[in-house]
């Protein structure tokens, strides 16, 4: 018989697909389409333990129908089926019980298709261009997105197509030349093939500023869709928008941080945004607040209008000029902004760990209870514990926060710094790792005029191999500090 089947014989099919569609076109050796034929679908004995057909018998579509001679069935993997298992089945024409005809024998191999999450090697933020075409060659005006497709054995799937899609202002460019604009036909996105390593790369720029959701999708006849998405931001380096500015407590264009206890200062969105005169619905637009060209807050506009907005002080520049504005974006990619407010700051920017992030890892191990002159001589010793899921290729980033006082007064003395990045190798995979915080970075922190101690705080963050933009944080090691003295030896 000259029949055809999709997926074809010996295809690798997705073990996660609970309704794998199998379609046969029944044609005889002379090329004649066989209509109204009863086909029997039967798995061999071993395969019956791994899969099940929805229908045991099906008639091919009749003459005159758009799919004349076709028959469609569905395979459902059973609970014990796994990647690498092979199933075999036969399709038999049993229209004439006395003259059964073998139509074909088919083999499929189960595999587990895996698509990694979208990675942003250049970060998730860039400038917008505001032209008819993005200038992809201009530094900081484009982003890079990558996803990797493998099977369950981490074998790369090469030359498979990934569909990237986004709202209309986003333009996609070839991952090989970076300057070839890819056509987004009918808003259905663009297709990029994976390379020999299973990696699909695309570059993107935007004609408008705004927050945009980028979706990557892998689908084929023999697999379920694999979908991942990420938000990216294109910001305006010189915003001049028509919206009213944020409400910020400035006195002669100066923000006094000492008016706000703790690590945050507050701003408000103007209440006039709720007027119906604006061309957007406050419940259906996102609001992105940008300080010094960095996204510091992003939520639905309606939620942010209900309360004061707390922003971290450590995103401000204490020495130079600061800028702040907000940007609204709807689901279609339309955006609106206010003009940037420019100001300087006075007062104290507290240096401390972020209280609002998950911290699943155990803290650094301290060797003293009080950080004093004796403890820091030749460096304060700490240990990185054998944290959960430690792997070769991990990179450990340690950050130290010191908050004390100057010369036994109530004048704050603060510092924040990082230690050298530590690589996890085979040689230190199973050991606690000792690190040293330099004496120079910890010297000269006194108690206050009221004898209140300052604080030494330290955290580490793990960056796993292949996930450069994801940090897993430890709990915080917190100790008292008093390293003030007249004759501190640096030997």
Q: Read out DSSP for 90-140?
A: EEEE-SSTTS-EEEEEEEEEEE--EEPPPB-TT-SEEE---SSS--TTSTT
**Mean pLDDT across 352-364:** 87
User: Cβ of 421: how many Cβ atoms within 10 Å?
Assistant: 10
Q: Percent of the chain having pLDDT more than 90?
A: 65
Banded pLDDT at 486 (limits 50, 70, 90): very low
Banded pLDDT at 339 (limits 50, 70, 90): very high
Query: Which residue did the predictor score with more confidence, 134 or 202?
Result: 202
pLDDT at residue 488, rounded to an integer: 44
In the chain, the N- to C-terminal Cα span, in Å, equals 89
Residues 6+ apart with CB under 8 A from 6: 22, 23, 24, 221
* Nearest one of 453, 457, 451 to 482, comparing CA atoms: 453
pLDDT at residue 145, rounded to an integer: 94
pLDDT at residue 423, rounded to an integer: 95
Residue 393 has pLDDT above 70, yes or no: yes
pLDDT at residue 136, rounded to an integer: 85
Residue 129 has pLDDT above 90, yes or no: no
Q: Angle at Cα 150 formed by Cα 144 and Cα 156, nearest 5°?
A: 85
CB 289 within 8 A of CB 326: yes
The secondary structure of the chain in percent helix, strand, coil, rounded to multiples of 5, reads: 5, 45, 50
H or E element that contains 374 = helix 373-376
Residue 489 has pLDDT above 50, yes or no: no
Q: What are the backbone angles phi and psi of residue 441, rounded to the nearest 5°?
A: -75, -15
pLDDT at residue 277, rounded to an integer: 85
Banded pLDDT at 350 (limits 50, 70, 90): low
Query: Which residue did the predictor score with more confidence, 138 or 164?
Result: 164
How far from the centroid of its chain's Cα atoms is residue 477's Cα?
28
CA distance 65 to 88: 30
Strand order in the sheet with 143-150: 114-115, 143-150, 199-206, 170-173
CB 438 within 8 A of CB 458: no
What are the structure tokens assigned to 375, written together? 């403890």
Residue 487 has pLDDT above 60, yes or no: no
Q: What would the pLDDT profile of 291-317 be if each residue is shown by its tens digit? A: 999 999 999 999 898 888 989 888 899
pLDDT at residue 312, rounded to an integer: 87
Banded pLDDT at 362 (limits 50, 70, 90): very high
What are the structure tokens assigned to 139, written together? 């530094």
Q: What would the pLDDT profile of 51-87 be if each residue is shown by its tens digit? A: 999 999 999 999 999 999 999 999 999 998 998 899 9
Q: What would the pLDDT profile of 163-218 be if each residue is shown by its tens digit? A: 999 998 999 998 777 878 898 877 889 999 999 999 999 999 999 999 999 999 98
Question: Considering the entire predicted model, what is its pTM?
Answer: 0.63
pLDDT at residue 160, rounded to an integer: 87
Banded pLDDT at 222 (limits 50, 70, 90): low
Alpha-carbon separation of residue 337 from 132, 232, 275, 289, 470 (angstroms)? 20, 17, 16, 10, 29
pLDDT at residue 198, rounded to an integer: 93
Residue 40 has pLDDT above 80, yes or no: yes
Average pLDDT of the chain is 90
CB 246 within 8 A of CB 334: no
CA distance 230 to 362: 29
Query: Which residue did the predictor score with more confidence, 89 or 183?
Result: 89
Banded pLDDT at 255 (limits 50, 70, 90): very high
Q: Percent of the chain having pLDDT more than 70?
A: 97
Helix, strand, or coil here: 61? coil
Q: Annotate 430-465 with three-state secondary structure.
A: CCCEEEEECHHHHCCCECCCCCCCEEEEEEEEEECC
Banded pLDDT at 221 (limits 50, 70, 90): low
**Mean pLDDT across 417-440:** 93
CB 147 within 8 A of CB 217: no
Where b means 16+ CB within 10 Å and e means fewer, 190-205 reads bebebeeebbbbbbbb
pLDDT at residue 153, rounded to an integer: 77
How many residues are present in the chain?
Answer: 491
User: Please, what are the domains in the chain?
Assistant: 4-111 (2.60.40.10), 114-235 (2.60.40.10), 254-346 (2.60.40), 365-482 (2.60.40)
**Mean pLDDT across 360-367:** 95
Residue 459 has pLDDT above 70, yes or no: yes
Residue 229 has pLDDT above 70, yes or no: yes
């Amino acid at each position: 018989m000259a029949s055809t089947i999709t997926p074809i014989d010996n295809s690798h099919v997705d073990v996660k697909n609970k309704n794998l569609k199998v379609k046969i076109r029944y044609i005889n050796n002379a090329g004649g389409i066989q209509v109204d034929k009863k086909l029997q679908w039967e798995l061999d004995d071993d395969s019956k333990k791994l899969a099940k057909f929805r229908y045991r018998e099906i008639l091919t579509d009749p003459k005159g129908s758009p799919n004349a001679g076709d028959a469609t069935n569905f395979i459902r993997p059973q609970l014990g089926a796994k990647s690498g298992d092979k199933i075999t089945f036969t399709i038999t024409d049993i229209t004439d019980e006395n003259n059964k005809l073998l139509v074909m024998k088919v083999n499929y191999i189960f595999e587990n298709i895996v698509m990694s999450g979208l990675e942003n090697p250049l970060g998730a933020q860039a400038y917008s261009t505001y032209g008819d075409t993005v200038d992809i060659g201009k530094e900081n005006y484009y982003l890079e997105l990558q996803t990797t497709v493998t099977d369950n054995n981490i074998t790369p799937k090469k030359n498979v197509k990934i569909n990237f899609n986004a709202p209309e202002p986003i333009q996609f460019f070839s991952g090989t030349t970076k300057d070839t604009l890819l056509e987004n036909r009918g808003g259905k996105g663009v297709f990029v093939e994976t390379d020999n390593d299973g990696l699909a790369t695309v570059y993107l720029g935007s004609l408008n500023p705004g927050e945009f959701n980028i979706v990557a999708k892998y689908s084929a006849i023999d697999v379920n869709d694999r979908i991942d998405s990420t938000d990216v931001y294109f910001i305006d380096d010189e915003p001049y928008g028509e919206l009213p500015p944020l409400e910020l407590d400035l006195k002669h264009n100066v923000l006094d941080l000492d008016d706000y206890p703790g690590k945050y200062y507050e701003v408000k969105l103007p209440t006039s945004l709720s007027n119906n005169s604006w061309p957007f619905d406050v419940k259906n637009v996102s609001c992105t607040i940008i300080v010094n060209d960095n996204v510091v807050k992003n939520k639905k506009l309606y939620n942010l209008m209900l309360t004061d907005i707390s922003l971290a002080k450590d995103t401000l520049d204490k020495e130079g000029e600061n800028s702040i504005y907000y940007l609204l974006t709807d689901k279609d990619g339309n955006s609106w902004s206010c003009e940037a407010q420019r100001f300087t700051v006075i007062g104290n920017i507290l240096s401390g760990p972020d209280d609002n992030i998950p911290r699943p890892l155990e803290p650094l191990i301290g060797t003293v209870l009080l950080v004093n002159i004796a403890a820091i001589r030749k460096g304060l010793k700490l240990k990185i514990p054998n944290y959960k899921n430690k792997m070769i290729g991990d990179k450990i980033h340690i950050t130290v926060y010191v908050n004390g006082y100057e010369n036994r007064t109530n004048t704050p003395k603060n510092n924040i710094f990082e230690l050298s990045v530590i690589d996890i190798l085979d040689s230190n995979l199973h050991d606690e790792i000792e690190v040293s915080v330099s004496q120079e970075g910890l010297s000269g922190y006194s108690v206050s005029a009221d004898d209140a101690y300052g604080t030494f705080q330290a955290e580490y963050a793990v960056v796993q191999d292949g996930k450069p933009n994801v940090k897993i944080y430890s709990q915080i090691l917190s100790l008292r500090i008093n390293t003030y003295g007249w004759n501190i030896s640096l030997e």
